[in-house]
Amino acid sequence: MRLLTLSVAAAALAGTAIAARAQAPADDPYIWLEEVSSPKAMDWVNAHNAKAQAVLEADPRYPQYYNEALALAQAKDRIPFGRFLHGQVYNFWQDADHVRGIFRRTSLAGYEAASPAWETVLDLDALAAAEKANWVYKGASCARPAERRCLISLSDGGEDAVTVREFDLVTGKFVDGGFVLPKGKQRVGWEDENTLLISREWTPGELGRTGYPYIVKRLKRGQPLSAAVEVYRGGAQDGGYGVTPYVLRDGENRTVSVVVRPIDTFNSETYVLTPKGPQRVAIPAKSELSDMVAGRVIVHNREDWTVAGRTFPAGSVVALDLAQLKADPAHLKPTLVYAPTAREALQSVSASKGVLLVDILDNVRGRTLLYKPATGGTWTRSVLKLPDNASVGIVDASNDDDKALISVTSFLTPPSLWLADAGTAEARQIKAQPAKFDASNLVAEQFEATSSDGTRVPYFLVHRRDMPLNGNNPTLLYAYGGFESSMTPAYSSTTGKLWLEKGGVYALANIRGGGEFGPKWHEAGLGAKRQIIYDDFAAVAKDMIARKVTSPRRLGIRGGSNGGLLMGVQFTQHPELWNAVIIDVPLLDMMRISKIAAGASWEGEYGSVDKDPAIRAFWEKTSPYHALRKDGRYPEPFIFTTTKDDRVGPQHARKFAARMEEFGLPFLYYENTEGGHAAGANLKQAAHTNALEMVYLTRKLMD
């Protein structure tokens, strides 16, 4: 995120380490573990990895778990989820023969076939070998309308920071003399086939306080980066994820160039770029210009918005006329497309050439709504015909026509892919993954628990049909609880094969902080109100125990990232409820979160301990790293992180484990030296992580 060259990277990391030491509180003896790649820190990591591996990999069940997890990850009968590009369907694919992966294509007719005739466009394994680089594919952004030239993002070992290089889909080669952006956390939008809008670290150290770029420049083909012309400048003290440029384009090739300046994690200012310079758009701070169809710019609105006496509720979809937006962005005339009911929640919007697809949840069940522009700023609505009682997701929508790819899944039904005609509201299944575990004796049910304030919190329970209610069932409870991210029923081959098929119970909690019931469900737990999220989770656990589904002896919990923070809080607040706790890539030191990796960008979610006394008071008692007690009676957790995680950072997990070690408390710690903010940089690493965690759960909950 800070980098132009490797030498700049080294300087930036060194500067971060010095700053960390300078700001270190006197009572924190583990600041040295914040120096991510220092020899001393890596010696500590390697020693603790060896201890965990000696326990978990030595378990006689480990080889079976690993082989099963790897076979599932590499299975060639998985659905190759695709995207429409350049008149064809493209897919990124990994298996045993393509560990890093291949970017490939076929025709739509070929894609519908049982065994598509794929043509490899870019082989990441071959590229990494030829360049002696640890490349991980991070996506392709292609210039419309031709969609021939694409910007390929390549990560070193899975980091969020990427190197961007221009690639020609027709020749299958990187473009000689084409666009190249050196490594960094950067955002790029194609303004046209010869022009980019770029937000990045233009000179060393030119980053905002959250570690993200705040200056946008326009770069023309053939120009060096030094010749790029500045078009927008945010503030060095801005919060959030940095200034982001992008371009909206409809099916008729009308465009608008947009820049978003984040104020914090969720609030931002939106600007359109005009010949007179950037002009601010008069939309609410918690909203975004998300797509465009038939000359109408679509606003995903996350807060109540009153214009000319009319209120558009939070969670609604609103349209703006493109010409009016460009002419006078300060005085808008929005029209309503969609407004949620009490039990609905907007998830995403995506435009085909002439139809807007709106993905919603209805009591945590997926629906895809279709809206066609009509006269007078109105819209006609229909519902895409898809299976009920499932999770539904828009995979991609075509810019050339009204075709769309839709995924459908549930806990016990393997995922399927549907080809939809958004114009007629018809859809047909074109692919279905074979079952990966025996679900013949399994059922999925939805229950509700009562939280500390009386709110009913839904959760799903997947279990054997003949499960005895004796409190003795090994149960794994999962949740996330943050950033308005919705947790919905999904088919997990690994969980099914390695846990459910072996007699385990799986639970998914829809606690506050998520987006299952719209923005207010999320906002209920922001900042110093966050304890209600943790109460929701504990309430679900207690409800399962009261129903005699399980007991503390047989109950385990797992969460990652923000969910890793959730696990840390549950570990310290309710150690009596669990016998297994998996803390994945977590946030745990909430007093120093703003000084570790990208932590300063999440103040909108967690608040700022440096600016708000109420926030400081809350985290002083709730931060897991600080809430650990030497005399606490905790279960033995499994703590997992990755060295290459430049988003959350491994520092939180390391320090938490070191504090437990200081107190003589038992734990297992494993740090993957690659993989970024994920289980691994490739399928083998992910299988290894899954096997370690499943062995841990089996030992704690089933033995």
* Residue whose C-alpha is closest to residue 555's, from 578, 583, 581: 578
Query: Distance between CA atoms of 208 and 214, rounded to whole angstroms?
Result: 6
Candidate list 561, 594, 608, 623, residue with the active-site label = 561
Please give the span between the terminal C-alpha atoms of the chain, in angstroms, as a whole number: 45
Q: Which distant-in-sequence residues (6+ apart) come within 8 Å of 44 by Cβ?
A: 33, 654, 658
Q: Please report how the helices 683-697 and 39-56 are oriented relative to each other, as an axis angle in degrees rounded to 10.
A: 60
Query: Distance between CA atoms of 397 and 84, rounded to whole angstroms?
Result: 7
DSSP, res 432: E
CA 157 to chain centre: 18
Q: Please report how the helices 562-573 and 651-662 are oriented relative to each other, as an axis angle in degrees rounded to 10.
A: 20
Query: Distance between CA atoms of 143 and 371, rounded to whole angstroms?
Result: 26
Q: 642 and 676 in contact (C-beta within 8 Å)?
A: yes
Strand order in the sheet with 335-338: 287-293, 296-301, 316-321, 335-338
Task: Respond yes or no: is residue 561 known to be catalytic.
Answer: yes
Q: Which distant-in-sequence residues (6+ apart) come within 8 Å of 134 by Cβ?
A: 128, 156, 157, 674, 681
DSSP, res 421: E
Task: Respond yes or no: is residue 300 known to be catalytic.
Answer: no
The runs of H, that is alpha helices, within 561-672 are 562-573, 603-606, 613-622, 624-627, 651-662
DSSP 208-258: -TTSS--EEEEEETT--GGGPEEEEE--TT--TT--EEEEEE-TT--EEEE
Question: Which helix (H) or strand (E) element contains residue 638?
Answer: strand 638-642
Query: 146: number of CA atoms within 13 Å, CB side?
Result: 11
Q: 518 and 314 in contact (C-beta within 8 Å)?
A: yes
- Catalytic residues, by residue number, are 561, 677
